[in-house]
Amino acid sequence: MERAKLKFTVIVLLVILNIILLGIVLSQGGQARVYKEAGQTQALDYLDQNGIAVEGDVIPWESTLTEQEKSAAISSQITTETWEIRSMRQPETLLVDFVTSLSQLGVKCTRIVSITEGYVHTVEGERTVFTPIWTIITDNGSYRLDCADGTLKKY
For 84-95, write each residue's pLDDT tens digit: 889 999 999 999
Domain count along the chain: 1
- Kindly report, residue by residue over 116-130, the tens digit of the pLDDT: 999 998 888 888 899
d(CA 131, CA 119): 5
- Host domain of residue 149: 2-154
Show the beta-strand stretches assigned E in the chain.
Answer: 83-85, 112-124, 127-138, 141-146, 152-154
